[in-house]
Structure 1
């Protein structure tokens, strides 16, 4: 079925996933997670805990091998995913920029956008300063964005997501390759992008996920703990342990 509107409610009901080449090794087992429209949920856990598998199911690259994944109450297995992806934006760790104008890189795949739309997205993405220095929307960026710093590339990727006005957003390690100065600008831009949108975040830096509405702690394909940063710190379980490891030894 075609998707012509999205509120952004995502519900995992007893979801299981195993990859074809390793059917006995379950990547996700018994996942129950109800994400409300506009809510930000961060996924944390060690490598191989199932975080990327969850993101790939939200994007529609993978389908559950058991249980049910529903978008706004409709089983995603029955939806035309091409039409769903018009309402979805992904900001990965390394955004794919191509040789062409800044305008073309931001409107990527959307032909009905005005220059005003693009400029507004660039402003919200904290990208106008360097875009103006380069000469505006017609300035050409080299292949893979070679003329840009990592932080500048990420801000263009955020502008690309903003201009689509998505209902569902996936941020996959979007700030992990940045230094602190550029991370601040990118974090600020991400904050604007996430407002009012259902957002799934995966990040290694726990500092980037403390502000999420809820944090889901994954371990070996299972959801072991979920709550806000404050709730999980008070519970003193798996998340609090990750926080202690992340902050390292503290000397008085």
Structure 2
């Protein structure tokens, strides 16, 4: 948050300055009211007429200053909100895979949308308003002291009572605001889960059950917000009561002073005006400070993520590297949980430009080997090296230059086929056509109305599973990474097509291919340089083959 405000310090300074000037100018309206009434009661028509032009100019200037202050505030809110969302998104994207998957994607979405909105409404706006109100309060206090020290002392007494309220409610409100943020994130995750499961809900006719669960989550969320709002309402009502009471007392005391001849009727009007102005900024500040204090946990959470993004951006600078010597696994052990090992001592060598297959039943550790190879976690024991360089010492940019993985479950962005293959990068027409041919995408493009620029829908909903996986193959081939992993990457296409794609990849002389599969294509088995068999987290001995 501090970084975002610092980046927009010009607009912040202008908003604060113009807000302060506007507030001070607004406080002096009470003096103008005093002059008007005193001149009228004295029957000074000439003086009254002279005041009209001056007052008109003053009010026009006041209106202009208010507009500039409001405009600067809106620009500041726009810029800070944009920067904050950008930093949160970069922070999420900079997480390592192991760290990223510890949270539901809906939690990240809730931070970007809900938490940023809460920060805007309950921190940024109250902050700007509080600064303006402090300036208004100080200007009002100075004028009150000039007009009547007695009235000033009475209002300060009420002021001290007002400050007791947020002091008593601040911590409780902070806890409830944090709880509401957590409930909002949980509700977003559940709603996303239900919407993503539309086909399952429809197929198994469980709409009533899901609607009931949604209703419960929705109720929990709005009730969490209500509990926070209820405390805010207590704070606001007590502040309103004390503010109204202070004005009533001031009117009685000032009216008595008029009867005694200590002040003029114009001064009475000014004091009444100022008493309302005096309590208003205090009231606003009392309402704003608990809101800002309640945002501390959310601000800390966002700041932690943004700090991670700053560290990662430095680490991601990398020189271009190529695969020359090979990959080595030396006694590698790993478990997703500390007390449950998945890999129990893997030793293997992968040489450049050779073709390898890794077979084994589900849960034997094949995919975990590939995950570690692509930098999923640095918690493994032993050594994993590319050309002698430890994976722990490589950042994501270096790894992505070395290896590409085609997974069984392919994700496609809600854009066209071309963008899903190129992913915003520029490639030559020759490289694109070659990738389309080798992946099999060219085989179905003629069936598409807009060819390669056909929209695929959300996560490729307008394409078949086989078409989605062909696009994933093309996405990997066009980048010409020296190592390609097929992690059940052709499982969604028919056997004939899968065999054709795999055969094309096996012909690539300058490609290191690692195929992860449950079932080896018999006709392609002899084209692999070596086949590894995995069982219960270890590479089996040659006897097992």
Range into which the TM-score falls when normalised by the shorter chain: 0.7 to 0.9
How far 1:189 sits from its partner (Å)? 4.4
Structure 1 residue 89 and structure 2 residue 404: aligned?
yes
Residue 532 of structure 2: which of 193, 216, 220 is its match? 216
Residue 40 of structure 1: which of 329, 351, 355 is its match? 355
Structure 1 residue 158 and structure 2 residue 473: aligned?
yes
Residue 7 of structure 1 aligns to a residue whose secondary structure is coil
Q: Given the two structures, how large is their TM-score scaled by the length of structure 1?
A: 0.80
Structure 1 residue 30 and structure 2 residue 336: aligned?
no
Asked whether the equivalents of residues 7 and 167 of structure 1 are also in contact (C-alpha less than 8 Å), the reply is: yes
Q: Which one has more relative contact order, counting CA pairs under 8 Å at least 6 apart? A: 1
Corresponding position of 1:196: 510
Structure 2 unaligned regions, length at least 5: 1-314
**CA distance in structure 1 between the partners assigned to 2:454 and 2:534 by the alignment:** 43
How far 1:190 sits from its partner (Å)? 3.8
Asked whether the equivalents of residues 121 and 159 of structure 1 are also in contact (C-alpha less than 8 Å), the reply is: yes
Give the alignment of 1:1-80 within 5 angstroms: 2-7=318-323, 9-19=326-336, 21=337, 23-63=338-378, 65-80=380-395
Distance change >3 Å, CA 220–CA 140, structure 1 → 2: same
Asked whether the equivalents of residues 101 and 140 of structure 1 are also in contact (C-alpha less than 8 Å), the reply is: yes
**CA distance in structure 2 between the partners assigned to 1:44 and 1:37 by the alignment:** 20
Structure 1 residue 122 and structure 2 residue 436: aligned?
yes
Structure 1 residue 106 and structure 2 residue 412: aligned?
no
**CA distance in structure 2 between the partners assigned to 1:144 and 1:33 by the alignment:** 36
Greater share of residues in strand? 1
Asked whether the equivalents of residues 43 and 202 of structure 1 are also in contact (C-alpha less than 8 Å), the reply is: yes
Structure 1 residue 178 and structure 2 residue 178: aligned?
no
**CA distance in structure 1 between the partners assigned to 2:502 and 2:410 by the alignment:** 16
Distance change >3 Å, CA 3–CA 81, structure 1 → 2: farther
Q: Alpha-carbon deviations, 1:58-111, whole Å to 9, x = none?
A: 1111235211111011111111222321332111112111221211011015x2
Asked whether the equivalents of residues 506 and 513 of structure 2 are also in contact (C-alpha less than 8 Å), the reply is: no
Asked whether the equivalents of residues 355 and 514 of structure 2 are also in contact (C-alpha less than 8 Å), the reply is: yes
**CA distance in structure 1 between the partners assigned to 2:528 and 2:487 by the alignment:** 14
How far 1:56 sits from its partner (Å)? 0.4
How far 1:158 sits from its partner (Å)? 1.0
Residue 38 of structure 1 aligns to a residue whose secondary structure is coil
Corresponding position of 1:136: 451
**CA distance in structure 2 between the partners assigned to 1:225 and 1:176 by the alignment:** 27
Asked whether the equivalents of residues 103 and 118 of structure 1 are also in contact (C-alpha less than 8 Å), the reply is: no
Q: Given the two structures, how large is their TM-score scaled by the length of structure 2?
A: 0.39
Greater share of residues in helix? 2
Structure 1 unaligned regions, length at least 5: 227-236, 240-252
Structure 1 residue 238 and structure 2 residue 238: aligned?
no
Asked whether the equivalents of residues 216 and 223 of structure 1 are also in contact (C-alpha less than 8 Å), the reply is: yes
How far 1:3 sits from its partner (Å)? 4.9
Distance change >3 Å, CA 161–CA 36, structure 1 → 2: same
Q: Alpha-carbon deviations, 1:127-177, whole Å to 9, x = none?
A: 213113313222222222223222222211111111110112111111223
Root-mean-square deviation (Å): 2.2
